[in-house]
Each structure stands twice: as structure tokens, then as C-alpha cells.
Amino acid sequence: MISRVDSNKQRKKRHVRVRAKISGTTARPRLCVYRSLANIYAQLIDDEKGITICSASTAEKTFEQYGGNRAAAKLVGETIAKRAIEKGYKTIVFDRSGYVYTGRIKELAEGARAAGLEF
């Protein structure tokens, strides 16, 4: 019998390994990304205080189009960047949560950079 590789389990291992090295501070919070099949979520987190500063996702009521594609991810990146700049944060640490930096993750990062965030 062939055993199947659990890709989400491997992603979580990568995420734990990366999180041991990076963390968000009050001056430079962490932009954490979660990707599901239907939606994409982004949060700006201050790990020192243990709080979420702001968040954006395709599951919000104000979001009209389908959330599982690259165009939607780019809009989420722009939205999170606008909300972060309103709160006074310009530079951040990007946490891709163990996902490969391609597709929707890359589009979200590029959307955030285009809207003014630096990382």
C-alpha cells in the first residue's frame, strides 16, 4: 500500500521552523498569511503584546468576488496594507506560513508592497 504525503502536515512543520526565527515586534509587526481553497486571510500581528493589529480576508462581507484566485489575493494585500498604514505601520515582517512563495501568496505580497508596505 502506498502511503500518501500529507502536504499540510509538512507545511505546518515548515511554519514552526520559520516561526522560531521570526517574530513581529511593536515597531515591525508580522504579516501572517493563511490560504484555504476558497479564501485567503492576512493578519498583522504584534507578537510582543500578543495582539492582532488588523486583518483582511476574502471572507469579509465587503468582498464581492471569488476569493480563491490570484486577483483576490492581490486585493487582500492592498487592503491589509491600507489598514496597516492607517494604524501607522509602514515596515513589516512577512510570514508566508510555510507556503511556497508563488501564486496567491506572491500576489498578496506584491499587492501589499504596491500599496506602500515595506518588507
pLDDT interval class at 14 (50, 70, 90): very high
Domains in the chain: ranges and CATH: 29-114 (3.30.420.100)
pLDDT at position 57, please?
97
Extract long-range pairs of 94-97: CB within 8 Å, 24+ residues apart.
94/30, 94/31, 94/119, 95/18, 95/19, 95/22, 95/24, 95/30, 95/31, 95/32, 95/33, 96/18, 96/33, 97/11, 97/15, 97/18, 97/32, 97/33, 97/34, 97/35
pLDDT at position 27, please?
94
**Pairwise CA distance, residues 91 & 73, whole Å:** 20
Residue 1 has pLDDT above 80, yes or no: no
Residue 85 has pLDDT above 90, yes or no: yes
Which H/E stretch holds residue 51? strand 51-57
Entry pTM: 0.91
